[in-house]
Structure 1
């Protein structure tokens, strides 16, 4: 267990799409207030769960990946399984709601 991993345009395929676990990707930016509100929630989720991975992708630093998945507003959390985005959660969301959505794909 541990905190979220950081991913980028360069390693997104390797770290997320090729993962054998479900990956919850937090699309965020440093200037985004709601993103800062979600960060401690996602840190907790990451530290408490071994059955999926939490990853963070800064959309300002990695625009290609954000654009590829049509991320229009942040925070958006994409749920990836077997190389595909199977669901997403947009906006500040309660911890249990995030967990319930992710666990549906495990």
Structure 2
């Protein structure tokens, strides 16, 4: 599956229309982003059931700001509207594959239950 350019205009629709989405926050001037981009593209081709999006932080500063992106590249994984991962840094291909496998294995009912318990105790 090819990657999709995410903008302020299409972000909510893409998020709502996909159970799992990976987002690469990047910029063209960023060396690590140029390293990670081809890795991200290759991996996206192996995962038909996952949306792979890209946010150009230069063209979409409001979107990057809404997620508090301060370093690029930053990879974010959202599954069923729950952010499971958000870390800066370019990953090697094998590490990205492991991260995807881990995100698929997360028990979201348990995550939501733990979040509700933390909210009640706060």
Q: TM-score, length-normalised on structure 2?
A: 0.79
- The equivalent residue for 1:54 is 52
Say whether the 8 Å CA contact 1:7–1:55 is kept in structure 2: yes
- The equivalent residue for 2:4 is 5
Give structure 1 regions of 4+ aligned residues with deviation exceeding 3 angstroms: none
| Structure 2: unaligned runs, 5 residues or longer | 105-122
User: Number of aligned pairs?
Assistant: 104
Cα distance between partner residues in 2 of 1:102 and 1:36: 21
Deviation string, structure 1 residues 31-87 (Cα, Å, up to 9, x no partner) = 111101001100101111113111111011111111111111000011011223221
Say whether the 8 Å CA contact 1:19–1:83 is kept in structure 2: no
Q: Compute the RMSD of aligned alpha carbons.
A: 1.3
Say whether the 8 Å CA contact 2:18–2:51 is kept in structure 1: no
1:44 equivalent among 42, 45, 50: 42
Structure with higher Rg: it is: 2
Q: TM-score, length-normalised on structure 1?
A: 0.89
Cα distance between partner residues in 2 of 1:20 and 1:46: 14
Higher relative contact order (CA 8 A, sep 6+): 1
Cα distance between partner residues in 2 of 1:58 and 1:64: 11
- The equivalent residue for 2:81 is 83
| Structure 1: unaligned runs, 5 residues or longer | none
Structure with more of its chain in helix, by fraction: 2
